[in-house]
Amino acid sequence: MVAVFNHVSPTCNSPTCLFLQRKAAEKAEKPSRKAKKDPNAPKRALSAYMFFSQDWRERIKTENPDAGFGEVGKLLGAKWKELDEAEKKPYIDQAARDKERADEEKNAYDKKAKSGSGDDEEDDE
Protein backbone atom coordinates (compact mmCIF):
# COMPACT_ATOMS: atom_id res chain seq x y z
CA MET A 1 0.00 0.00 0.00
CA VAL A 2 1.30 3.45 -0.90
CA ALA A 3 0.94 6.23 1.66
CA VAL A 4 -0.20 9.63 0.43
CA PHE A 5 1.14 12.61 2.36
CA ASN A 6 -0.93 15.75 2.17
CA HIS A 7 0.97 17.46 4.94
CA VAL A 8 4.69 17.39 5.55
CA SER A 9 5.70 18.55 8.98
CA PRO A 10 8.85 20.72 9.02
CA THR A 11 10.01 18.87 12.14
CA CYS A 12 9.69 15.41 10.60
CA ASN A 13 13.08 13.81 9.96
CA SER A 14 12.06 10.56 8.30
CA PRO A 15 13.55 9.92 4.84
CA THR A 16 10.10 10.19 3.26
CA CYS A 17 9.40 13.54 4.87
CA LEU A 18 12.81 14.88 3.90
CA PHE A 19 12.28 13.71 0.31
CA LEU A 20 8.87 15.38 0.14
CA GLN A 21 10.24 18.59 1.68
CA ARG A 22 13.05 18.68 -0.89
CA LYS A 23 10.59 18.07 -3.76
CA ALA A 24 8.30 20.83 -2.47
CA ALA A 25 11.25 23.24 -2.28
CA GLU A 26 12.33 22.37 -5.85
CA LYS A 27 8.79 22.91 -7.10
CA ALA A 28 8.60 26.30 -5.37
CA GLU A 29 11.84 27.42 -7.08
CA LYS A 30 10.64 26.61 -10.60
CA PRO A 31 8.73 29.21 -12.58
CA SER A 32 5.08 28.24 -12.58
CA ARG A 33 4.25 28.91 -16.24
CA LYS A 34 6.05 29.75 -19.42
CA ALA A 35 5.40 33.07 -21.10
CA LYS A 36 2.26 33.35 -23.18
CA LYS A 37 2.73 33.35 -26.93
CA ASP A 38 2.11 36.60 -28.75
CA PRO A 39 -0.98 36.12 -30.95
CA ASN A 40 0.48 38.59 -33.46
CA ALA A 41 3.67 36.57 -33.87
CA PRO A 42 4.19 35.21 -37.40
CA LYS A 43 3.44 31.58 -38.15
CA ARG A 44 6.37 29.22 -38.67
CA ALA A 45 7.16 27.81 -42.11
CA LEU A 46 5.69 24.45 -43.04
CA SER A 47 7.88 21.56 -44.16
CA ALA A 48 7.61 19.85 -47.54
CA TYR A 49 6.00 16.86 -45.82
CA MET A 50 3.31 19.08 -44.28
CA PHE A 51 2.41 20.51 -47.71
CA PHE A 52 2.33 16.95 -49.05
CA SER A 53 0.07 15.78 -46.23
CA GLN A 54 -2.31 18.72 -46.74
CA ASP A 55 -2.52 17.78 -50.41
CA TRP A 56 -2.94 14.02 -49.92
CA ARG A 57 -4.91 13.71 -46.67
CA GLU A 58 -8.34 13.78 -48.35
CA ARG A 59 -7.26 11.24 -51.00
CA ILE A 60 -5.98 8.86 -48.33
CA LYS A 61 -9.18 9.29 -46.29
CA THR A 62 -11.35 8.54 -49.37
CA GLU A 63 -9.31 5.43 -50.20
CA ASN A 64 -9.44 4.29 -46.54
CA PRO A 65 -12.73 5.54 -45.05
CA ASP A 66 -12.38 3.40 -41.91
CA ALA A 67 -8.88 4.65 -41.11
CA GLY A 68 -8.55 6.71 -37.94
CA PHE A 69 -6.41 9.82 -37.50
CA GLY A 70 -3.27 7.89 -36.55
CA GLU A 71 -3.64 5.39 -39.34
CA VAL A 72 -4.08 8.17 -41.93
CA GLY A 73 -0.84 9.67 -40.63
CA LYS A 74 0.96 6.34 -40.99
CA LEU A 75 -0.34 5.93 -44.54
CA LEU A 76 0.75 9.47 -45.42
CA GLY A 77 4.21 8.80 -44.01
CA ALA A 78 4.51 5.59 -46.01
CA LYS A 79 3.37 7.35 -49.19
CA TRP A 80 5.89 10.18 -48.61
CA LYS A 81 8.71 7.65 -48.24
CA GLU A 82 7.69 5.97 -51.52
CA LEU A 83 7.99 9.22 -53.51
CA ASP A 84 11.19 9.87 -55.42
CA GLU A 85 12.91 13.26 -55.49
CA ALA A 86 11.14 14.36 -58.68
CA GLU A 87 7.73 13.72 -57.10
CA LYS A 88 8.75 15.52 -53.89
CA LYS A 89 10.14 18.55 -55.75
CA PRO A 90 6.88 20.58 -55.92
CA TYR A 91 6.41 20.20 -52.17
CA ILE A 92 10.07 21.05 -51.49
CA ASP A 93 9.77 24.19 -53.65
CA GLN A 94 6.56 25.16 -51.88
CA ALA A 95 8.30 24.70 -48.50
CA ALA A 96 11.21 26.88 -49.64
CA ARG A 97 8.82 29.68 -50.65
CA ASP A 98 7.02 29.35 -47.32
CA LYS A 99 10.34 29.54 -45.46
CA GLU A 100 11.14 32.80 -47.25
CA ARG A 101 7.69 34.14 -46.31
CA ALA A 102 8.15 33.13 -42.69
CA ASP A 103 11.63 34.69 -42.53
CA GLU A 104 10.35 37.96 -43.98
CA GLU A 105 7.41 38.04 -41.55
CA LYS A 106 9.69 37.23 -38.61
CA ASN A 107 12.17 39.97 -39.56
CA ALA A 108 9.33 42.48 -39.88
CA TYR A 109 7.89 41.31 -36.55
CA ASP A 110 11.26 41.56 -34.79
CA LYS A 111 11.90 45.00 -36.30
CA LYS A 112 8.45 46.17 -35.19
CA ALA A 113 9.01 44.77 -31.68
CA LYS A 114 12.37 46.57 -31.38
CA SER A 115 10.94 49.89 -32.57
CA GLY A 116 8.51 49.95 -29.67
CA SER A 117 4.80 50.55 -30.04
CA GLY A 118 4.61 49.66 -33.73
CA ASP A 119 2.28 52.56 -34.61
CA ASP A 120 4.72 53.74 -37.32
CA GLU A 121 2.63 52.25 -40.15
CA GLU A 122 -0.38 54.44 -39.33
CA ASP A 123 1.74 57.62 -39.48
CA ASP A 124 2.69 56.97 -43.14
CA GLU A 125 -0.89 57.29 -44.39
Q: In the predicted model, what is the mean pLDDT of residues 96-106?
A: 96
pLDDT at 83: 96
Taking residues 3-20, report their average pLDDT. Answer: 69
Which DSSP state fits 116? S
Tell me yes or no: is domain 51-114 CATH 3.40.1000. Answer: no
Mean pLDDT over all residues of the chain?
Answer: 83
CA-CA distance, 83 to 78, in Å (whole number)? 9
Residue 29 in 3-state DSSP? helix
Helices (H), the chain: 15-29, 48-63, 69-82, 85-115, 120-124
What integer is the mean pLDDT of 109-118? 79
What pLDDT is attached to residue 26?
74
pTM for this structure? 0.62
Domain boundaries defined on the chain: 51-114
For residue 36, what pLDDT is reported? Answer: 83
- Whether 58 has a pLDDT exceeding 50, the answer reads yes
| Rounded CA separation 67/72 (Å) | 6
Which residues touch 36 (CB under 8 Å, ≥6 apart)?
Answer: none
